[in-house]
Structure 1
C-alpha cells in the first residue's frame, strides 16, 4: 500500500507521541485475530489492513483483491478470512509506481503477510467481552455549503469542472442540495467499541485518513487496537485539515456525491476523540 495523496509520507514505524495530522502517513501493518470456535464451527481469521479495496479499473463487478485473498487463504490455511477495513482514506493498493495497484500482486502480498501473521500469532486471554455503542455528531460546514449554493445559483455555466466534476453532476447536486434543511447542522453517526482481553476494536463509518487511525492506536488505553472503517454505514472520507485547505476530492467532491453538506475541517479529529472515549469505557 502507499499514500496516494503525496510522495512525501511517513509510515507507522515513524509515528510517535509527537506525530500530528500536519504530515501525511501510512499504516503498513496487517493484523490478524484468529478466532477458534468450538462445536465444529469453522475457524475465522479477522485481518485488518489499511488499503483501498478496489484495484480493478473496468465497469464489471468482481471479487478484487479481498476476494482473491479470501479464496486463497481458505484453501491454503483452512480458515475463513474476514477483511476489516483499516484507515485507507488516503491509501491505494500497490507500491506507488502506478496510481492504483493491480489485484493479483496486491492479493499475493496480503496473503504473504496474513500467513506470516498467523504463524506468529499468540494466545490472548479473554475473560469477558465488553462492548459499547454511542451516537456521535459530526459538525457540518454550513457556511461553505451556502457558498456552494450561492456560487451555482449565480453562474451555473461556470460550475463544470474541478470540485463540480462536470455540468451534469453540478446540476444534479444543486437540484437536491437546494432542498436541504439548513437547520440540520450535524451529521449523526454511530460508533462502537469492543474489548477482547488486551485487544480493542473500534468501529466507525468513515474512510479515515491514516493519521487519525494511527493516533487512535497510539492513544488507546488498550495494548493493541484495531480501527475499523466502513462500519454501521458509510459517510465517505474522513479527511485531515490539509485536505480541506487543498480542496481535495475527498473533502469537497465526495460530500456532493453522498448528498450532504461538507464536514468542518476538524470533523475527523472529533470522530477520533470520540472513538478514544469509547475505548476508555470498554477498557475500564
Structure 2
C-alpha cells in the first residue's frame, strides 16, 4: 500500500532538490531538531491524574517527548519547544528558557505543551529532569543545524466538533462526547503543515502540524495511563512515512473536542487506544497528502526570521471591567520568511478567535500555538462569555474580552514585523 505514496514523495523530494539548487545562496536559513524522551519513569515519578489525585506512575501506554526546533538565520536564533504534557508549571519553561540563553545565547523562544490529557500533570519532583532533558534536546538541535528550505500548505479534515451546544432559548449545554459524529459549529477543519527540508537533497528535517482539536481521547478520571494521545500517535505515523521529525502544535481548540473524547467513560483501554490509532491514522494521512501537494515553488531557502514578544497586563473576570490589571500574560509572534506566522497564546483560545486571527493576519499562513509559557485557562470570545458554558463562564478567569485583546495584539505585532504600518507623515 505504501509504494505509490513513497514514489510520489520521491518525486516531490527531487523537485525540492532542484528548487533548492536554484534558490538564492544569500539566505542562511539553517534548522536543527532535537528530541528527548520525557516519559515519567514507572514506579519512580509522580504525576497528578485527571481526577486531581497525585499518584506514582505505574501504567505507560506510549512515550511522551520533548521536541525542540532551532531556526538560525544570520545572527538570529529562535527556538521552538513543544512538550507532550497536559500542562507544566511555568517555572519549567522559565528554567528551559534561562538554560537556552545561558548555554546557547538564545533569547527568542516559543514554548508550549501539546495538552495531551493522557500525560498526567508532572509534579515538582520532575522539574529538574524535564528541564535537563529538554535542554539536551536543544543542544542536539543546535548540533544538527543545517541549511534548510521551507514550505507551507493547508489540508482539510473534520475530526472535531464544538462541545458547546447553544439551545434555541440561548442557553448552552455541554456535549462532552459525540461518538455519533453529530455536526456542531463553529469548528476549524484547517490542518496546517509546515515542511522543513534539507536544502542539499530535499529530505525532511521536520514536519510541523497545527490542528485545533483537543487531545482528550485518552482522558481518564479513574486511572492514569500515560499517553501522548492522538497527536503522539499521529507524529509516529507521519515520521514512518516521511522520515524526519513530526511535531504537533495545538491550535485554537478551546471549545473543540474530538468526536471520541473521554472514551474511558464508556470503553475499555484497548478500545480507547484502538480509536486513538484510527484518529491518528486519518490525521497522518492528511498530513502526508498535504505534504506531498507542495510544489517546488512552494519551498524556499529565503526565510528571514522575525520575532517579537509582549507582556500584556490583564484583569480577572471576577473583578469586572474596572478591575486592576494584575495578571500578566506573555504573547509572542514568530515570522518565518514573512510568510509563515506562529502566535503563542497563553491558554486555550476558542476556535472562532483562532480563525479570526488567521483571516486577518497579513501572513500567508498563521498558526495559534496554544497553552504557551503558562496556561491562563480558557480564553472565550466575548459572545461565548455572554452565552455561558464550560470555558466561557466556568474554567476561565481572564477578563471579559481578553481573547479579542490577544488577537488584536498579535495582529499589531505581525503588521509591524511585516512593515505594513505606514509611518506618520510630516505636514
**Same topology, TM > 0.5:** yes
* 1:57 to 1:203, Cα distance in 2 relative to 1, 3 A: closer
1:157-236 to 2 correspondences below 5 Å: 185-197=325-337, 198-236=339-377
Per-residue deviation at 1:241? 2.3
Per-residue deviation at 1:127? 3.9
Q: Is the 8 A contact 1:138 1:270 kept in 2?
A: no
Q: Which position in structure 2 is the counterpart of 1:107?
A: 280
Q: Distance in 2 between matches of 1:278 and 1:192?
A: 9
Q: Is the 8 A contact 1:3 1:90 kept in 2?
A: yes
2:308 pairs, out of 129, 132, 140, with 132
* 1:49 to 1:6, Cα distance in 2 relative to 1, 3 A: same
Q: Which position in structure 2 is the counterpart of 1:48?
A: 210
Q: Distance in 2 between matches of 1:193 and 1:126?
A: 19
Per-residue deviation at 1:195? 1.2
Q: Which runs of 5+ in 2 are unaligned?
A: 1-159, 168-183, 267-271, 420-427
* 1:245 to 1:183, Cα distance in 2 relative to 1, 3 A: closer
Q: Distance in 2 between matches of 1:254 and 1:216?
A: 23
1:245 pairs, out of 375, 386, 400, with 386
Per-residue deviation at 1:24? 5.1
* 1:209 to 1:224, Cα distance in 2 relative to 1, 3 A: same
CA RMSD between the two structures: 3.0
Q: Which position in structure 1 is the counterpart of 2:240?
A: 75
* 1:254 to 1:281, Cα distance in 2 relative to 1, 3 A: same
Per-residue deviation at 1:140? 1.8
1:271 pairs, out of 400, 406, 410, with 406
Per-residue deviation at 1:139? 2.5
Per-residue deviation at 1:144? 5.7
Deviations 1:47-92 (A, max 9, x none): 1111102211423221210111121111121121100111101101
Q: Is the 8 A contact 1:24 1:210 kept in 2?
A: no
Per-residue deviation at 1:272? 0.8
Q: Distance in 2 between matches of 1:280 and 1:37?
A: 30
Question: With structure 2 as the length reference, what TM-score do the two structures score?
Answer: 0.48
Question: With structure 1 as the length reference, what TM-score do the two structures score?
Answer: 0.71
Q: Distance in 2 between matches of 1:228 and 1:34?
A: 17
Q: Distance in 1 between matches of 2:230 and 2:213?
A: 10
Q: Is the 8 A contact 2:191 2:210 kept in 1?
A: yes
**2:383 is equivalent to residue 282 of structure 1:** no
**2:193 is equivalent to residue 35 of structure 1:** no
Per-residue deviation at 1:143? 3.6
Q: Which position in structure 2 is the counterpart of 1:158?
A: none
Deviations 1:178-230 (A, max 9, x none): xxxx9854321111111112222211112111111111111111122112211
Bigger share in helix = 1
Q: Is the 8 A contact 1:35 1:43 kept in 2?
A: yes
**2:249 is equivalent to residue 87 of structure 1:** no
* 1:56 to 1:278, Cα distance in 2 relative to 1, 3 A: same
Q: How many residues align?
A: 227
**2:163 is equivalent to residue 4 of structure 1:** yes
Q: Which position in structure 1 is the counterpart of 2:422?
A: none
- Secondary structure of the 2:259 match is coil
Runs of 4 or more, structure 1, over 3 Å off, are: 37-42, 98-102, 142-145, 182-186
